Structure formats: structure tokens, C-alpha cells
Amino acid sequence: MTIGGLPFSPARRRLLAALPLAALPFASIVPALALAQRNAAPYVPTPWPIVDAMLDLARIRADDLLVDLGCGDGRLAVTAAKRFGARGYGVDIDPELVALANRNAADAGVAERVRFEQRDLFQTDLRDATVLTLYLLPQTVVELVPRIFAQMPAGARVVSHDYGLSPWPPERHVAFDVPEKKRITGTTYTVLYLYIVPARLAGVWRLDLPESLMSRPARLVITQESLKSAATLTIGGRTAEVEELFVHGDEVRMLLPPLSPGGKRLLLEGHARDGTLEGALESGGSRGMWRASRLSTEVR
């Protein structure tokens, strides 16, 4: 069977069915796919009103580097550069789309800030990306979560069109109808999911508190597995669980158990920056500062 002159293999039929784009009307815009690399989604451009909504949801700034995995004609990165002065980088397996995206960047006068390359999205380095945009198959976006956690900087934003990065709970999601979408996907319904990348804190830390609360440094061991963070505190041979550890972007909040019999719990709030955690603490009405420096990224 052929659609738009291209063989319609069982694999392509599954791809089309998985995006709610399964309908024949858009099949004519699906190009030949470079199947040597793993196909993460057929080409379906994000309608323009959704491009704007995705960039607004990510709150793009001029100092952002937006990476679009599976960039198609480059519209997300080019628009981010045009509207907000951001830099952009996109990859696609389809060389014709990559060439078109680079032409679109040049036509829009943003070629100095935006670049597109033919590359497998599963092999693309995300370490410098402060914003990541995705319009891919549901299973592909989920598969990218460990890579996002391992590589993207704390506080970076991820916006996914139509599919959530389950089980990662989104920071926000917005749902709306876009009439232009009906023609290409068969539905007007659109959902956008926003995620904020948490700081990577796993490892062993030296924790210093004001002398009045703790006369010598404690050892803080933080574990981060998938979406769960936990910590233990060891002071002078005594180990206790940290009662609460909350990580949101580079913000950290910890509730420590009382450090001495009859003592009060300690609430530590602060930020993670370059191997250091620091901020303000509060315990039974007294306030002070706290600081932790990373001794190792291995949990031992």
C-alpha cells in the first residue's frame, strides 16, 4: 500500500496512528524517512499558534539556547530567535528538512544564532540547552527523560506538545483547541506540558550550620533516583533521615530532624550552584545561614 507515493509499511502505519495525526489528509506532507536511524515521529509541523504558545509557556529569554529534537522545518527555533533573540539548535534525521530549516533561518535573518544539523535526536547533546521543545511520539518523549535529567542544567525548561513525560509530573499543562490542527492531525485538541529540570544533587556533601546549632560539619548523603530525592544526615556517628527534601530547578528545601534531644527541627532553604548548596535556615524562631559543599558525586 502507498500513501503520497511512499511505501506505507506497518512501521509507518504504527507511527502515524500513535500521533493523533493518523489521518490520511496529512500523509501527503510526510517525506521519505531516514529509517536507518530510529524513527521517533513522522514529520508533522506544529501549527503556528501552537509554536507561539509553546514559546510563551517556556518563557523564552534572549539568553536561552532552545534545542528542538526533531526540528522539522525549524519553526520553533527560528521563531524563538526572531521573537525573543534566543539562540537555537535543531536536529532532524531528514536531510531535506534540515536544509529547509537552515534556509528558513537565513530567510528570517537569524542564521547567526540558529543552526540545524542532520543528527539522531537520541544522540544529541543536551548539556547546553536551557529550553527543550518536543513534538514526538508518546513513547519517545518518555524515553528521553533519563537523558534530560542526566544532561540538562538545573532550572532548564522542557515543553512537550501533546504528550507528557510520564511519570514526571509537569510543572504546568495547558489545553486548548486550535482549528488549524484539525487539517493535519484530525483533531483540534492540543495539550502543552511544561517541566522544570531539577538540580542533580546525588552524592556526598559536607554540611555546615551555625556553630550554635552544630559545632562540627555533618555528612549529608543525597540519593536521586528517577523522580525521588532523599537524604541522610550523619553527625558524630549518628545517622538520621532528612525528613523532607524538595528540589525544584536549582531551589532546594530540606527539613532536618532535631539535632539534639528536645531540639527543634531545622528548615533549610537555598540554591544549588557549582557544587555548593547554600541559603537561609530557620529553627524554632532562630535564623542563620547554611552551606553544603559536594565531596563526591558517588553515593557511598
Under rule CB under 6 A, residue 45 binds ligand SAM: yes
Q: Where are the alpha helices (DSSP H) in the chain?
A: 10-18, 48-57, 75-84, 95-107, 138-143, 145-151, 179-185
Which range in 70-78, 146-154, 177-185, 210-218 contacts ligand SAM by CB under 6 A? 70-78
Q: Which residue matches cell numbers 544522540?
A: 123
Q: Segment near ligand SAM (CB under 6 A), from 114-122, 226-234, 239-247, 260-268?
A: 114-122
46 makes contact with ligand SAM (CB under 6 A): yes
Contact between 242 and ligand SAM by CB under 6 A: the answer reads no
**Interaxial angle between packed helices 48-57 and 75-84, expressed in degrees from 0 to 180 and rounded to the nearest 10:** 60
Q: Does 38 bind ligand SAM (CB under 6 A)?
A: yes
Least distance between ligand SAM and beta carbon 148 (Å): 15
Residue with Cβ nearer ligand SAM (101 or 235): 101
Number of Cβ within a 10 Å radius of residue 234: 14
CB within 8 A of 82, min separation 6: which ones?
108, 109, 110
Question: Does 88 participate in binding ligand SAM (rule CB under 6 A)?
Answer: no
Q: Which of 26, 43, 84, 193 lies at the binding interface for ligand SAM (CB under 6 A)?
A: 43
| Residue 72 within binding range of ligand SAM, rule CB under 6 A | yes
Residue 280 near residue 289 (C-beta atoms within 8 A): yes
251 binds ligand SAM, rule: CB under 6 A = no
Contact between 37 and ligand SAM (CB under 6 A)? yes
Q: What share of the chain is helix, strand, coil (3-state, %, to 5)?
A: 25, 35, 40
Nearby residues of 151 by Cβ (< 8 Å), 6 or more positions away: 125, 126, 127
Query: Which of 136, 247 has the CB closer to ligand SAM?
Result: 136
User: Is residue 195 part of the contact set for ligand SAM (CB under 6 A)?
Assistant: no
Length, in residues, of the chain: 300
Other Cβ atoms closer than 10 A to 32: 11
**Interface contacts to ligand SAM, rule CB under 6 A:** 37-41, 43-46, 68, 70-72, 75-76, 91-94, 97, 120-122, 135-136
